Structure 1
């Protein structure tokens, strides 16, 4: 009787011996760049100890390119891609991909079906990489990104944890700039309208604003949450006026919400900037056409999309880029001028 041939070790056994996930083991064996050195060494040791031989067909598939990348957005906003912010992000991403082989796939991943589509895309390698935007709280998209075998770049930091590759704006520094400007122009009772409280963007902008006021000896401001929409800004401004009728300035965590805040102030008979100074955040085109024109923290939104795509392409091509924080600056217009209005 012929002896049965020795059974070859499996990828699952390699992963178990190395103490890593099956996905991490596959990444390391196929020399995919987005694997930590510790995991790569552990897998290499397990391969040697077990005598594992990779399937050449599987390796070829792992290294092949599809020619497409995904911009996945976790948002339930119905008019998301009509939002000037996401329009600018998309323009920046497209510009960076223009001279490459990669096409862009836009994917709304806010529903269970959308998340499942992204999971299948990650597992079946129907794209070469993913950019994730608008994560809130403990978004399962972060875990999906870790489970997949594709490189992932985050547009903005998630609220929990810090991914290996991300592009973000200096949101905390931008909030600090707003506080410093209001203090410099004589405002002493500022308040704030923040965004979704389960987003890192809102948390960082609020922290920076409070920090800037504290450095000037002012107390932590009253804060009312909004939802990054114009109506959300209007409602939050009404609540702040009801609770703090003597307020003399408001920092609003997005230009869209600032438009709503300006509307509420006008409806309540408050003059801007004489009675209340208003500062927004983003500095998109619409900030110039508000009444009065909006002082706002400028973040390079199109550049954010551009750098996300550049970073992802670099990862796909085997580079090891570093995370990137883009600077913010204050654009001063009439809603919070550099010189204090008379009477303040």
Structure 2
């Protein structure tokens, strides 16, 4: 098991290095610069985006595992006829609970998902060409554990929605400060038919909260845009395969000696089906995700999860 973990950690690190090499080698997809950020902020448009992820949006009153994510970001985008350049900042909070929030601490099974909150803030940048060739980087700093405020958020939200209160936040993972570096790249789009395209993408994260690498394919069909934030209206389907080196929301903080921690499955993934409508100023996206089991100690049937993702954007 230790050899497998080291192999996945090495693979994630090599993927990050490969993405960085791609960015440096491409003349149009360079690493970030302060002068470029200033130019984009001064001459581009500002875009606000709110993203909500929640399993309760399925209307089955189901709160389990990855139960909620609330993410707010502002980005500055400058576009030419050939390329889009984007810089931005973001804040987010992700919540994780056991298989049943009504279980008391004494009723939790040893292999149940631990309660955890991940609160973070970060910066990111992205360049995208008309062909779909793109590079994205991100840096997030945050806190895992009681300092993330997960208990407060879920308790107050459930009071407002008149849902059952979670009973075992007292068992949540210990505090740990976290740093996560992220990178993504796409070699470009395939255009098999009019109004249809397929985009491969490779991603990696490296840090003491998440370390993983993944590959995905996204199919879009409808009125498509060539650059992000251009008017569009299309349905999409995305499939992602992932290898996992470390997941602190399951194992506890990397630098903590967390007792009774679980083991993440070294391979997994998710599928997503959704629809996006984009106008000049406004954009709305809604999708349903199916995420594979992430915990080695439980069965795949028990650990698989469904949740809804909603995104709302406004360009100033």
Q: Same fold (TM over 0.5)?
A: no
The structure richer in helix per residue is 1
Question: Taking structure 1 as the reference length, what is the TM-score of the superposition?
Answer: 0.30
